[in-house]
Structure 1
Amino acid sequence: MAAMSDNGRHPSAYDSKHVIGDAVFAGVALTVSGPLSILQGVSAIAHGRIFSPAGYTYRFDLTAWGWIHVVIGLALFVIGVGILLDKAWARGAGIAVAGISMITQFMFVPYYPVWSIIVMAFDLLIVWALSRSFHPGASGRR
């Protein structure tokens, strides 16, 4: 049985005031970014005509783009909740999925440029915050 810390929780590899601030920011940002991506995807699925792409290398059917954004948005939200619940798997997954989200937003720029650039910047902040607070292999005992 694992030893309990003074606060009644099992010790975590991420227990420090500095790490908690970055993790809380990233968790909240992911739980906001996820629904934004979901809304973007639902808009693309339901009202494909609001997006007006020109000839574009990464051109997909807008319904396909919509589903891509919905799936990524759900993953971002679930991982954000995992980070806020201090799940060890969530930090690495958050970096990976926020990076994937950044790439898909980049590919979506011709369809909806301002929104995509804002979400890309938000995803970059998430990757930065999670990278600052990520300590793989830490034992959790201090």
Structure 2
Amino acid sequence: MSSATAPHKPDHDREKDTALWASGGTMFAGVLMMVNGILGIFEGIAGIAKDDVYERIGDYVYKFSLTTWGWIHLVLGILVAVVGWGVLKGASWAKATGVALAALAIVAQFLWLPYTPVWALISIAIGVFVIWALCNDRSDVAGP
């Protein structure tokens, strides 16, 4: 059957499909936040414990000591993991907090880019997806 002869889907079915997709995306965003947060914790511990884990860079505008970066990643990782758990539990505070933390994590990964460029780009992409998924979830909005 060609697309020209396919029956037209009613608008309420499309809205239902979109809501299901966004709901699944929200669950996936919660899982990604937990995993990314846990990896951030490990990244932070590595930066704090051993000052030679990451390659030192030359003159970089956003240069902090690796111990400082370690603490930043540790604290941010804990917060992201906890909020990811909240998203999975459906906590009302978790979606807005998740968007804010994902945005903050994107900025932190951008500033961290010269130290681990590939992982920073992957984390930025994860953050963008998390923001999209949390902003598109309408499960708490009353519908018709």
Alignment partner of 1:65 out of 61, 64, 69 = 69
Q: TM-score, normalised by structure 1?
A: 0.80
Which residue in the other structure is 2:36 paired with? 33
1:20 matched to 2:19: no
Which residue in the other structure is 1:96 paired with? 100
Alignment partner of 2:88 out of 64, 77, 84 = 84
Which residue in the other structure is 2:16 paired with? none
User: Following the alignment from structure 1 to structure 2, what is the Cα–Cα distance between the partners of residues 134 and 120?
Assistant: 24
Q: Which runs of 4+ in 1 moved over 3 A?
A: 16-19
Q: Which letter maps to 2:119?
A: W
> Is the CA contact (8 Å cut-off) linking 2:22 and 2:133 kept in structure 1?
no
**How much has 1:135 moved relative to structure 2?**
7.3
Which residue in the other structure is 1:113 paired with? 117
Q: TM-score, normalised by structure 2?
A: 0.79
For residues 17-68 of structure 1, the C-alpha deviation after alignment (integer angstroms, 9 at most, x for no partner) is 3442121011111111100111111111112212222211011111111010
Q: Which letter maps to 2:86?
A: G
**Which consecutive unaligned segments of at least 5 residues does structure 1 have?**
1-15
Q: Percent identity?
A: 36
Q: Which letter maps to 2:33?
A: L
User: Following the alignment from structure 1 to structure 2, what is the Cα–Cα distance between the partners of residues 65 and 134?
Assistant: 36
More contact order relative to length (CA 8 Å, sep ≥ 6): 1
User: Following the alignment from structure 2 to structure 1, what is the Cα–Cα distance between the partners of residues 91 and 108?
Assistant: 26
User: Following the alignment from structure 1 to structure 2, what is the Cα–Cα distance between the partners of residues 114 and 18?
Assistant: 29
Higher mean Cα deviation, 20-29 or 85-94? 20-29
Q: Which letter maps to 2:115?
A: Y
User: Following the alignment from structure 2 to structure 1, what is the Cα–Cα distance between the partners of residues 77 and 124?
Assistant: 13
Q: Which letter maps to 2:113?
A: V
1:44 matched to 2:72: no
Q: Which letter maps to 1:96?
A: A
**Which consecutive unaligned segments of at least 5 residues does structure 2 have?**
1-18
Larger Rg: 2
User: Following the alignment from structure 2 to structure 1, what is the Cα–Cα distance between the partners of residues 52 and 59?
Assistant: 15
